Structures are given as C-alpha cells and as structure tokens.
Amino acid sequence: MKDLTACFVLIVALAPLVARGGAAEASGRLELLPIGNVQVSDGFWAPRIQVYREKTIPHSWSYMEWELRSLRKAVGEPVEGELNGTWGEANLYKFLETVAYSLAIRRDPELEQRVDGIVDLLRACQQPNGYLHVYVTNNRKPPWDPAFLDGSHDGYVLGHMIEAAIEYHAATGKRDFLDIACKAADEACNHFLGPNAPPGFCGHAELEMALVKLYRVTGNSRYLELSRAFVEWRGRGLVPPAGPTPRAYFQDGVPLRAQRTLDGHAVRAVFFATGVADLAIETGDSDYRLAAHRFWDSTTLRRMTITGSIGPRKEHEAFGEDYELPNDGYYESCGACGLVDFAHRLFLLERRSESIDVLERVLYNAVLHGIALDGVTTYYCNPLSDRDHLRDNCWVCCPPNLSRTLLQVGRYAYARTDRDLFVNLFVGGTVRVPFPSGELLLRVETDYPWDGEVNVRVEGTPAGRFALHLRKPGWSDGAELLLNGVARKVAPGDAGYWTFEREWKNGDSIRLNLEMPVQRMMAHPNVVACRRKVALQRGPLVYGFEGLDNGGKADVTLGTDPRFTAVHQPGLLGGVTAIRGVAARGEPIQAVPFFAMANRGSSTQEVWVEQENLTVTGEWWLGALYRPMREERLSDPRRAEDGHQE
C-alpha cells in the first residue's frame, strides 16, 4: 500500500517551486565535484578525515618502504631486505591516491615533496617503451607474460597507478605523474592493440575502469578502446589459467553477454563490473548497461550481507551461490571498497537513489568496519559473527584501499549537471558547485547518521535556477520537508529523490527531517544463516552485539517487545549512538554500530540475533534481500490465544 501511495504526486505546488517527476529526468552529463570543493565539518566525518590525514597516512609510510626498496632496486641501487610481490606496487599507488585526496582537502608542501620524489623514482624505473611494473623488471619476467596473465597483476598495478596519477594531478596541478601513467597506458595499448598484438587481459580487473577514467581526463579514445577490448576478450579462452583455479575466478568463464551473475574472486569481479558500468556510461552501449544491471542485481539482491560485504568464501576469496551469506564468511575489505565504486557508477549510469542506498550501506558499515577507530589497524575480513577476531593489519591490499575509499566521501556525496545538483549523502559542511551561471555555495548542517535532521542552505552569490535533488534514503519511511521554514508535501520522484527546482536566492533553505526508528531487519528466507534472526538497523547504520556489553554473550535472544531506545554516548567508541533494550528474558542489552565493533580488545560479536516467534515466508519480497520486520511477523502464542493472530 505504501508503494502505491508513493506513486501519486502529492505536491502543494506553489510557484516558483516546481517538483519534477524524478531525478532520472535531470538533463545533461553528470559531473562529480572536485574533492577540494567539499569541506567536511560535521561531527561524524570531519574527525574521521582528520584521523586518516594525521594518523593513517603517516602510519602507512612505514609499509611503503617495501615498495620503495623495490623501486630503488629497479634503478640499480644496492638495497637490502625483501622486495615486493607481484601485486605490491598497487599498494604504493593506492596509498598515493589516498595522499592525493588528502592534498585535495588541504595542500601540504612537505607531503607533496615526498610524493614528487617518488614520482622521480618512478620515471627512472619506467622502461623506454613505457612499461612500468618493477616486480616484473626486478625478477626478469616477461612483461604481460602470456603464460601468467591471470596471476601477474600487470594490469591491476597499472590501473591503480593511473588512478593515483589522475588524482595527484587533480589535487596539485602537477603533470609529471600523469605523464608517466599515460606513457605506461600507451605501452599497454601498443602491446594489446598494435599490429599482430596478442589478445588477452590481466586476470585481476582494475585497468578496465582506470582506462575509462584516463580517457575522461585525456580524451584519448585508445584508452577506451583498450578497456573495451579487455572486456570483450573475456570468456573466449584467450588467457590460460596458470593454476587450478576455474576461469570464472578471473571472470573468464563465458563471454560478457552470457554472464548472468557476478562470480569468482569477489574483488576481481566487482572491479570488472565497475569497468563494465564505466563502459556503459561512456559508450552508451546497451549490452554493457544490461550486463552492469545483471551484475548489480546478482550482487545486491542475492549476494551481499546486510553490512554491505561481498565474497563469503575463503576458497578463491569468492562469491558463493545466490543467498549463500554465512555470518562467519570471509568478506574482504577490498570487496566492500569495490562495491562502493560499483554502486557509484550505477548511480552515474541511472541516476537512481537505490544505487546510493547500497553505496551508503557499504560505506557506513562494511568499509568503516574495515579500519579501526585509531586509523592505523585494519581488518582484511569482516564477518558478521566473530569471536576474538583482533584486527590483523594485513598489508596485502586492503589498508590503502580503505583509506582511499573513505577520503572520497565528499565526492560520493554530490553530483551535478549544468542545472541539477544531487545531494546523495548527508555530510555536514560546505560545498562549492560550479554551475555555468556562477558558483553556488551550499552549507549543510547535520548530525547524520546519529540524527535524521539535515539543513541545507544556499549562501553567497545567487546561483540562479537549478534543481536540487535530495536523496530519499531507502531505509526511510517517514520524512518532513520544509522550504524556508514552511512545510511542503513533496513526494519523491520515481528515481527516489525529492526535487526542488526554483530560482534560488541567498539564504534559501531546506530542512529535511528523516524519522530514524530502530528497525529490526529480516533477511530473505533463502538466506539460511539468518533464519529466525533479525539484525538491528537505525538510519544507515547496522548494529551488532558485543559480548563485552552484554555479560560476555553476544548471541542475545530478542522477545516480542525489546523496548529499544537509541542513546547517544559521547564517551563510547569515539561517540556513538548505542541501542539499548531488553532481551527475551528481561536482561538489559546494548548494541553498537557494526563499524565500531572490535575496537575494545577481544570480544564476541553478532549482527544477526535470534528473534523469538519470528515467521518469515517467501511472499512479498519483491526482489529485496533485507526488509524491516513488521510486528505481524511475530506469531506470539499469547496473541494467538487472544484471537489476534494474523
């Protein structure tokens, strides 16, 4: 019934306010804002960004020694100690991308000088033909080794180099790193697209999306052509597996148009899917668009945890079958980082809020969980049920992926066309939007995600007429909207945005009040691990129980009415809103946000907990994987006796 009422446009249409049918109608090309245009100053993200800039980056340098030693070895310097592995340089590049975002937020001459020194070293390492993968050079292996394309990581490393170089150029205006990356990309183009070139692709996807990004920056269509070739050559038996892993492990099982689900190594797979979505955005090819949607549905409707993680299987770090979502699964942090990017591309492709619903779920839960509150230790795996799982700080791949993802929160929050501004994430601070008619300054004040009130105010020079699209979060049932202090009844459009189009003046404001009740979430009944269980969610945050808050026992059992209340506790876990209530037998219980779990030493942890009398049937899921529990799902024996049972 609720869905039906949402179809009616319930507008009190008072000129000059115009509500349009949906954000999908927004015209013109979507552009992202430069990271530096978004200044974050709220109570949630600003302290975190400070930690990533002041703690995570200095801490990460110590791990770069391994990579820098490998670079120095490649230019003939005598070095001592272990050299990096085949994927190691990607860590250096992910870290440099993190640094670039930090510099975009605030320049730092000392930090820049350090990066410039590395760029000089990279230039010295680069082969005359442009090839640059020092692991291969140091170990005298053949570049793009045709016998080991699935494992050599040549393209994965190059992809991360390209992304870092683009962002360093964007942050500083310096071209040297970008020139090195272009030269290396040109070598890849010459290798795979030149006369008599052997078709193939790197078994760890990443270069596909990086080449599209490089095409956007340079306009060189050869990069787009190579990305397209890498996608098209898959599933045709062109890359021999070096080991016993199945071809699906590196997304080579069948050609793209025959791929129905996203399978194999979860990180490789989601990077590949992101590249396909990028190609759909740039080429408009409906085959890529359809494939991106198949991958999206396969992942988000059947293969994603409620915390936004993917890849439950330890063997091959892989996706499982549909609904195979064990709570003690593998769930690598890089998979979550990759899913944030895939969700972001789906938004750019379709301009629908449901993509951002997934992005928000992954970012505020799985990704934030991956990095400790202190910013220096990390998780490789992010299971939902855990015992004494201390942070492993494993520097194979995840730590710099987490920091580069989290420092992009300002980028994920907004998108614009020449006459539209999308507010996707509710992040407090200011944002400068370069409309053709002039720069708009927008101020956002909010205590999100702890509170659902979001105040958006236009400041400074009038920016003229444009449409402001405020995302209606998928988790939100009820909301109040006020324009310049006057309540407005505006229904969200089909794309899931509240749209306000008008001639905006200095001081105009919108207040959004999102109701933020504690919701007990159910999983689709096919998810065996979550049967007769619920998970708590409030706003975008998924919660979990830790033994140390609950008498040593994280696997609590909930009764019909757990009497949940949300209590903000400034002294707990850096300041979180905890959920307090009572268990089935009346003892007090407390849940904390999933992202903050495992920050207080050893402890048991459970996201999904037993719910007494819960009956979930297979009806009316309409493709959803998780839904709020309604009271009628509880078959309370006492209510049955009273004749009130459903």
Q: In angstroms, what is the minimal distance from the CB of 332 to Zn ion?
A: 5
Per the structure block, which two tokens stand in for 53? 């800039």
Summarize as ranges the residues that interact with Zn ion (CB under 5 A).
332, 334, 397-398
Nearest to 77 by CA among 35, 138, 129: 138
**Number of residues written out for the chain:** 646
Reading the block at residue 291, the tokens are 């494939």
**Quick one: 158 or 334, whose CB is closer to Zn ion?**
334
Closest separation in Å from C-beta 90 to Zn ion = 10
Q: Nearest distance from residue 267's CB to Zn ion, in Å?
A: 6
Q: How far is the CB of 136 from Zn ion (least distance, A)?
A: 21
405 or 604: CB nearest Zn ion? 405
Q: How far is it, in rounded angstroms, from Cα 293 to Cα 471?
A: 21
Quote the CA–CA distance of 532 and 557 in Å, as a whole number. Answer: 10
Encode 140-156: b = buried (16+ Cβ within 10 Å), e = exposed: ebebbeeebbbbbbbbb
Rounded CA-CA distance 407/412 in Å is 10
Closer to Zn ion by CB, 104 or 397: give it: 397
Inter-CA distances, 379 with 67, 402, 530, Å: 21, 10, 23
The Cα 347–Cα 150 span in angstroms is 30
Which of 131, 331 has the CB closer to Zn ion? 331
The nearest distance, CB 317 to Zn ion, in angstroms, is: 8
Residue 193: CB minimum distance to Zn ion, A? 30
CA-to-CA separations, 413 to 129, 141, 353, 395, 435, in angstroms, rounded = 40, 43, 12, 28, 17
Residue nearest Zn ion (C-beta atom): 334
- Residue 205 or residue 397: which is nearer to Zn ion going by CB? 397
CB of 398 to Zn ion, least distance (A): 3
Query: Closest CB to Zn ion among 325 and 334?
Result: 334
Q: Which one, 299 or 590, has the nearer CB to Zn ion?
A: 299
CB 497 within 8 A of CB 471: yes
Residue closer to Zn ion by CB (options 342, 466) is 342
Minimum distance of Zn ion from residue 388's CB (angstroms): 22
Cβ closest to Zn ion, residue 334 vs residue 536: 334
Least separation, in Å, of the C-beta of 271 and Zn ion?
A: 11
Instruction: Give the nearer residue to Zn ion in terms of CB position, either 332 or 508.
Output: 332
Neighbours of 524 (CB within 10 A): 19
Nearest to 248 by CA among 150, 361, 116: 150
At its nearest, how many Å lie between Zn ion and the CB of residue 505?
48
Query: Strand 420-423 and strand 464-471: pairing?
Result: parallel
Helix (H) or strand (E) holding 116: helix 109-125
Question: How far apart (Å, rounded) are the C-alpha atoms in residues 381 and 327?
Answer: 12
Judged by beta carbon, residue 299 or residue 333, the one nearer Zn ion is 333
Give the nearer residue to Zn ion in terms of CB position, either 201 or 379. Answer: 379
Q: Cα–Cα–Cα angle for 229, 342, 50, nearest 5°? A: 125
Q: Give the pair of three-digit tokens for residue 123.
A: 């230039």
Distance separating alpha carbons of residues 384 and 365, to the nearest angstrom: 11
In three-state secondary structure terms, 40 is strand
Angstrom distance (rounded) from CA 351 to CA 64: 38
Structure tokens that stand for 94 in this block: 């992910």
CB of 404 to Zn ion, least distance (A): 12
CB of residue 63 vs Zn ion: minimum separation in angstroms?
Answer: 14
- Residue pointed to by tokens 């205006």: 173
Burial class (CB in 10 A: 0-12, 13-18, 19+), 286: exposed
Question: Where do the H-state alpha helices sit in 245-352?
Answer: 266-283, 286-300, 333-350
